[in-house]
């Protein structure tokens, strides 16, 4: 391990337990020195740390964090990050509002403290620009590399003590506009400018104009692909797995899923089926559970209460095994899926995996395992210990976002989810069961239709920044402009605002309940 101490602008000292020849590295550009040291020490972990935190650096823990090489860690031990709150105007992902109390997946990096394996820098060095400050270098690197499988995290365990840390300087709008032009599609610099004008009454024309002269930065997938992914972390003990399946009115499709599971090269221990039928006098239609022989135990629960959130919460209480497969009742997969997923748990060392799911006419693009935006409950495999105390949010029942909300609960506990494009599930999107009834939503009788859906609004309010929500509002306003806007733009805006406020009202009501 080699540690680079700095004062934010230049290197102040380089320390290593095995190498002493770093005297000439002082008072030089941090990023340049980082790449220079990496070039001559391909098998070392490189750590950077602001000199004021020298005694708080958690040196003993850092090597354990690198159970494989495809990591980039950093930590900004204060409320903000290098890019200020305005970053929310250009990105609608969970990577912006970072939870600083646990490991959290994000490309937002900090010069305060961090670590990366030297082999990663060496593989990517052709597209790493060292001009500018170190914060910009790190964020630019992570933003591009994360897409191709470099696993980037805000990691508080880099420091032993963070109580005395003072904020360091953040970027200005010039850097944000430049970053937007270099790492996003062209339209986002216009949307950033428009958001600042509309919501903050700011007119950063010079920052906007100068950003137009910057070129978009490139990055190649093969850089990360060249780094072997082979975790030395022990994540599997027994290798047992339970399957969770909520079902309603899809008897033949569910039978196909059970036959699929029975043919697996690695059999599940339990298949937990929560069958729903809202008709008051109904009984189970799944006669084949008892009439046929199965190579696993089926835990069958029948309920008159419809709803996927409730069904999955019931199923979670019945989990016994080391891993859980959140499945659906209309999917098809290869007979070695579970075996291959367990192997993927071992080579990644990660606790949550999402296999690729597709419709019949869709083609999956093969990529390295990478961090994913949203959790999905028909293609997710999770280590059971991560799920203790978690429940699907009943406020989102029959709405949108319950999967994403559950994923954010996992994220905020420090569990990230990786997407595996080499393993696939076919989603048949079977027709709904004949006894399904349209749920009665509390806002169905509103004179003013809430828009967006209150459940979407609630999800945004819980996990996104104010700027992200405002940018989302502007985006849906622009996307829904039609002939009514041209006829009477003031009336169109008034109605749009009324629908937005009504959505906020119902989101708040759902949250209170």
Residue 97 lies in a domain: yes
Q: What is the pLDDT of residues 147-165, one digit of tens each?
A: 999 999 999 999 998 765 6
Mean pLDDT, residues 21-32 taken together: 76
Give percent of the chain with pLDDT exceeding 90: 86
Q: How far apart are CA 206 and CA 210, in angstroms?
A: 6
* Structural tokens at position 393: 């949010």
> HSE on the CB side for 118, CA within 13 Å?
18
Task: Residue 107: name the closest of 155, 69, 158, 152 by CA.
Answer: 152
- Provide the pLDDT for residue 20: 63
Specify whether 492 is located in the same domain as 383.
no
| CA–CA separation, 301 and 292 (whole Å) | 17
Average pLDDT over residues 492-511: 95
pLDDT band at 506 (very low <50, low <70, confident <90, very high): very high
CA angle 23, 27, 29 (to 5 degrees): 110
Same domain, 309 and 395: yes
- Number of Cβ within 10 Å of residue 393's Cβ equals 22
| For residue 452, cis peptide bond before it (omega within 30 degrees of 0) | yes
DSSP 384: G
Q: What is the pLDDT of residue 451?
A: 94
In this prediction, residue 441 has a pLDDT band, given cuts at 50, 70 and 90, of confident
Pairing of the two strands 113-117 and 71-75: antiparallel
**Interatomic CA distance for residues 410 and 376, integer angstroms:** 12
How far is the C-alpha of 122 from the C-alpha of 23, rounded, in Å? 22
Do 421 and 469 fall within a single domain?
Answer: no
End of a domain among 427, 443, 463? 427
Tell me whether residue 233 is in a domain. Answer: no
Nearest to 222 by CA among 124, 363, 118, 356: 124
Instruction: For residue 207, give every residue at least 6 positions away whose Cβ sits within 8 Å of its Cβ, in sequence order, or none.
Output: 172, 173, 174, 176, 177
Has residue 387 got a pLDDT over 70?
Answer: yes
d(CA 485, CA 492): 5
Within-domain flag for 224: no
246 and 340, same domain (yes or no)? yes
With respect to residue 186, please indicate whether it lies within any of the assigned structural domains. Answer: no
**Tokens describing residue 369:** 């395992």
- If asked whether residues 69 and 149 sit together in one domain, one would say yes
| Least confident interval from 63-67, 74-78, 183-187, 265-269 | 74-78
- Does some domain include residue 222? no
Among residues 92, 4, 8, the alpha carbon closest in space to that of 54 is found at 4
DSSP 396: G
CATH number of residue 350's parent domain: 3.90.550.10
Overall average pLDDT of the 105-109 stretch: 98
Q: Say if 442 falls within a structural domain.
A: no
Beta bridge partners of 75: 113
Same domain for 459 and 404, yes or no, is no
Residue 400 tokens, joined: 């949108």
What's the domain count of the chain? 3
Same domain, 134 and 273: no
Domain range for 280 is 241-427
DSSP 8-state secondary structure symbol assigned to residue 71: E
Tell me which of 154, 171, 188 is where a domain ends.
171
Q: Is the pLDDT of residue 436 over 90?
A: no
Distance from chain centroid for Cα 461: 17
Question: Is there a domain that residue 60 lies in?
Answer: yes
**377 and 502 assigned to the same domain:** no
Instruction: Give the pLDDT score at 165.
Output: 60
- Is 27 a residue whose pLDDT tops 70? no
Q: Which of 380, 409, 427 is the last residue in one of the domains?
A: 427
Same domain, 133 and 269: no
Write the CA distances from 103 to 55, 112, 180, 228, 413, integer angstroms.
Answer: 21, 16, 26, 23, 8
- Please check whether residues 361 and 469 belong to one and the same domain: no
Whether the per-residue pLDDT at 434 is higher than 60: the answer is no
Structural domain includes residue 406: yes
- Looking at the chain, the number of H-run helices and the number of E-run strands are 17, 16
Q: Which tokens hold the place of 451? A: 């828009």
Q: Is the pLDDT of residue 386 over 90?
A: yes
Percentage of the chain exceeding pLDDT 70: 96
**Do residues 467 and 404 share a domain?**
no
CA 457 to chain centre: 19
Same domain, yes or no: 357 and 320: yes
The span from the CA of 353 to the CA of 342, in Å, is 10
């Amino acid at each position: 391990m080699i540690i680079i101490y700095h004062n934010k602008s230049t290197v102040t000292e380089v320390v290593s337990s095995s190498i002493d020849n770093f005297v000439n590295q002082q008072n030089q550009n941090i990023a340049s020195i980082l790449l220079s040291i990496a070039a001559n020490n391909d098998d070392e972990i490189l750590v950077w740390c602001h000199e004021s935190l020298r005694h708080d650096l958690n040196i003993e823990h850092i090597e354990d964090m690198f159970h494989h090489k495809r990591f980039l860690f950093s930590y900004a031990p204060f409320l903000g990050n290098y890019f200020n709150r305005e970053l929310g105007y250009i990105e609608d992902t969970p990577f912006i509002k970072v939870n600083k109390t646990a490991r959290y997946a994000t490309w937002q990096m900090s010069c305060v403290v961090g670590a990366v394996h030297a082999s990663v820098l060496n593989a990517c060095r052709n597209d790493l620009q060292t001009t500018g400050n170190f914060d910009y270098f790190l964020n630019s690197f992570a933003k591009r590399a994360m897409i191709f499988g470099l696993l980037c995290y805000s990691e508080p365990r880099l420091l032993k003590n963070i109580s005395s840390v003072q904020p360091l300087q953040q970027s200005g709008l010039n850097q944000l506009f430049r970053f937007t032009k270099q790492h996003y599609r062209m339209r986002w610099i216009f949307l950033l400018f428009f958001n600042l004008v509309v919501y903050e009454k700011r007119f950063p024309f010079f920052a906007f104009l100068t950003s137009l002269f910057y070129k978009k930065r490139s990055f190649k997938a093969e850089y990360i692909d060249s780094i072997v992914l082979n975790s030395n972390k022990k994540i599997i003990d027994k290798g047992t797995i339970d399957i969770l399946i909520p079902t309603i009115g899809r008897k033949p499709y569910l039978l196909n899923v059970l036959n699929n599971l029975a043919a697996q090269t690695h059999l599940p221990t339990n298949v937990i089926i929560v069958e729903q039928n809202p008709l008051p006098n109904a009984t189970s239609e799944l006669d084949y559970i008892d009439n046929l022989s199965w190579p696993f135990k089926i835990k069958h629960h029948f309920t008159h209460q419809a709803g996927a959130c409730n069904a999955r919460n019931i199923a979670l209480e019945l989990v016994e095994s080391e891993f859980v497969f959140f499945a659906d009742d209309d999917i098809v997969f290869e007979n070695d899926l579970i075996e291959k997923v367990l192997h993927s748990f071992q080579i990644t060392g990660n606790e949550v995996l999402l296999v690729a799911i597709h419709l019949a006419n869709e083609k999956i693009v093969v990529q390295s395992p990478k961090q994913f935006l949203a959790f999905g409950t028909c293609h997710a495999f999770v280590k059971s210990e991560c799920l203790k105390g978690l429940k699907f949010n009943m406020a989102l029942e029959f709405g949108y976002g319950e999967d994403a909300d559950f994923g954010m609960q996992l994220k905020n506990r420090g569990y990230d989810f990786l997407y595996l494009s080499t393993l696939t599930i076919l989603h048949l999107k079977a027709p709904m069961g004949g006894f399904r009834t349209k749920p009665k939503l509390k806002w169905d009788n509103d004179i003013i239709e809430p828009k967006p859906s209150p459940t979407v609004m609630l999800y945004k309010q819980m996990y996104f920044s104010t700027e992200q929500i405002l940018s989302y509002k502007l985006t849906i306003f622009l996307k829904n402009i039609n002939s009514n806007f041209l006829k009477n733009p003031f009336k169109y805006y008034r109605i749009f605002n009324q629908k937005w406020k009504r959505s906020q009202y119902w989101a708040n009501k759902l949250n209170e309940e």
